[in-house]
Chain A
């Protein structure tokens, strides 16, 4: 059973150009998958299709082998949590507590259990102190943590991050990355992260690259990210480590490792000591 399986998916906003054009891919259970691509390549549209915010043109979306249709949208939305890019656009409640409660109320959780659930998830994202504050007074990183708590309280099996850290400062970014990594490692949650952060992609289990509405690359970061020319032709950028390895190659130094910083450094130090 795959958490996400997409077959020949098509979508168009204007019935002329396919923003998502015959896309097929699989996200494996418990994996940390990254979805990258240039602005306008169709990444966010995919996220919205996966949670039924947009209706597909044709093709098939399967969540845990269950086809996404109007009829089972509710069941499927319980399985998937999503955090969007802009922390300011996803708050409803007057306080952090209300905001986390909102999703629970929607899912008809017994009010007697609600307080415990809220406290538990607020603690998990390290926001217990802020439960009675207005969300508008929080920093960007704190807002995204509350958004994640609200999503987690619904106990989804799959978490989709749609550039969830791109509006945050470095501190906020690392807070969220650490939290997501913990959810992935400790709870085995399946993560699909739409991102521009090349360093995040390097560490992921699986990478999908979109270009002009199509998935053009699908595989291991260590296979895909190492081709500088190709990354540039896809309107992306190669990791610094890959660019450095190529600059060294032009100077006659050929490395076995060209992606992982630590291994590259070890290899270079060995070369230096051998000279």
Chain B
């Protein structure tokens, strides 16, 4: 079952002087069962795009297909709840939305809202807490008493507890420390590899794109200007520079070495690939 956009336009404040076309003629089909990064400058339409996936926004024109649902301007799917149970959307800075007295209650809120019996909701919540790397002692704490990074994990656990098939994350690691952010990306990768979840991540961090994602969707001025495998995307650095994103460190090194006379032929993605290629050339 697909997640696809067909000729989608979206206008904020249509028919007013402030009308603003945030998405223009989007044709896009995400590959299911993969991790896809959505990148692009601020204001390019990334967040607007992902908010269509659980019908928070309806397209002004065109059709959005989400699993077995069809979303159009006139056709808001009935029973949005079951759509939102299958497509979990984590907003930017979700920790601002924690509100319950205890962390356990906060994570249980999602499953309970979807009519899961209390005892089962508790099991789901405790599992989700463990998945995001927080131990049982956190369950009865107040979400106000933990650090920002821990709050972020609790918020993500809240979505994991409803066990969606598709997980959509809007800048999930912004503001986390390096290890917290690495742990978070590894969690998403595990959910993808072991649980078969389709993962869509809006990000500005090119290190995450190159290290953890299978595909990349590039947006600019409300349009999708590129949709490729990550390995292919990073073969041409001009593509990356065109949208004012930073090159991943690996590519900076690779380019500088190429300029200095190195001759790499093989594609490379991870640090070990680069180390191996350098070592081969030096020892040749």
Chain A residues proximal to chain B, CB less than 8 Å: 37-40, 85, 139-141, 163, 166-167, 169-172, 196, 198, 232, 235-237, 240-241, 243-244, 247-248, 250-253, 261-262, 264-266, 268-269, 271-273, 275
A-B contacts, 7 listed (Cβ < 8 Å): A166-B174, A171-B41, A236-B178, A243-B271, A248-B275, A261-B252, A275-B282
Which residues on A sit within 8 Å (CB–CB) of B281? 272
Do A269 and B260 contact each other (CB < 8 Å), given the known contacts A40-B150, A198-B178, A235-B179?
yes
1/0 per residue, CB under 8 A from A, across B167-184: the answer is 000000011111111100
Which residues on A sit within 8 Å (CB–CB) of B178? 196, 198, 236-237
Please report whether the interface of chain B is mostly helix, strand, loop or mixed according to DSSP.
Answer: helix
Which residues on A sit within 8 Å (CB–CB) of B179? 38, 232, 235-237
Q: Does B99 sit at the interface, judged by CB under 8 A?
A: no
Which residues on B sit within 8 Å (CB–CB) of A172? 42
Number of interface residues of B (CB under 8 A): 42
| Supplied contacts A171-B42, A251-B279, A272-B262, 5 more A-B pairs, CB within 8 Å | A38-B179, A235-B179, A237-B182, A247-B275, A272-B261
In the complex, are the beta carbons of B253 and A261 less than 8 A apart? yes
A14 to B, closest residue via Cβ? B145
B280 to A, closest residue via Cβ? A251
A174 to B, closest residue via Cβ? B246
In the complex, are the beta carbons of A271 and B282 less than 8 A apart? yes
Which residues on B sit within 8 Å (CB–CB) of A248? 275, 278-279
In the complex, are the beta carbons of B182 and A85 less than 8 A apart? no
In the complex, are the beta carbons of B275 and A251 less than 8 A apart? yes
Kindly identify, within residues 242 to 284 of chain B, every residue whose CB is under 8 Å from any CB belonging to chain A: 244-246, 249-250, 252-253, 256-257, 260-262, 271-272, 274-276, 278-279, 281-284
Give chain A nearest CB distance to B87 CB in angstroms: 25
Do A265 and B260 contact each other (CB < 8 Å), given the known contacts A170-B244, A171-B244, A240-B253?
yes
Kindly identify, within residues 145 to 193 of chain B, every residue whose CB is under 8 Å from any CB belonging to chain A: 146-150, 174-182
Q: Does B43 sit at the interface, judged by CB under 8 A?
A: yes
Among candidates B175, B177, B276, B278, residue contacting A268 with C-beta atoms closer than 8 Å: B278
In the complex, are the beta carbons of B282 and A235 less than 8 A apart? no
Which residues on B sit within 8 Å (CB–CB) of A235? 177, 179
Give chain B nearest CB distance to A98 CB in angstroms: 23
Do A139 and B42 contact each other (CB < 8 Å), given the known contacts A196-B177, A244-B253?
yes
Which residues on B sit within 8 Å (CB–CB) of A251? 275-276, 279
Q: Does B204 sit at the interface, judged by CB under 8 A?
A: yes
B175 to A, closest residue via Cβ? A166
Please report whether the interface of chain A is mostly helix, strand, loop or mixed according to DSSP.
Answer: helix
In the complex, are the beta carbons of B283 and A275 less than 8 A apart? yes
In the complex, are the beta carbons of B282 and A268 less than 8 A apart? yes
Which residues on B sit within 8 Å (CB–CB) of A269? 257, 260-262
Which residues on A sit within 8 Å (CB–CB) of B41? 169, 171
A157 to B65, CA, bound (A): 56
Among candidates A39, A170, A265, residue contacting B176 with C-beta atoms closer than 8 Å: A39
Which residues on B sit within 8 Å (CB–CB) of A240? 249-250, 253, 271
In the complex, are the beta carbons of B150 and A139 less than 8 A apart? no
Which residues on B sit within 8 Å (CB–CB) of A250? 275
In the complex, are the beta carbons of B282 and A170 less than 8 A apart? no
Do A40 and B282 contact each other (CB < 8 Å), given the known contacts A170-B204, A248-B275, A265-B257?
no
Which residues on A sit within 8 Å (CB–CB) of B42? 139-141, 169, 171-172
A273 to B257, CA, bound (A): 12
A41 to B, closest residue via Cβ? B177
A38 to B150, CA, bound (A): 11
Which residues on A sit within 8 Å (CB–CB) of B146? 40
In the complex, are the beta carbons of B278 and A39 less than 8 A apart? no
Give chain A nearest CB distance to B266 CB in angstroms: 16
Do A40 and B260 contact each other (CB < 8 Å), given the known contacts A236-B178, A251-B275, A275-B283?
no
A251 to B260, CA, bound (A): 21
Give chain B nearest CB distance to A239 CB in angstroms: 8
B275 to A, closest residue via Cβ? A247
In the complex, are the beta carbons of A38 and B271 less than 8 A apart? no
Which residues on B sit within 8 Å (CB–CB) of A169? 41-42, 204
Give chain A nearest CB distance to B254 CB in angstroms: 10
B182 to A, closest residue via Cβ? A237
B263 to A, closest residue via Cβ? A272
In the complex, are the beta carbons of A163 and B175 less than 8 A apart? yes
Give chain B nearest CB distance to A167 CB in angstroms: 6
In the complex, are the beta carbons of A265 and B253 less than 8 A apart? yes
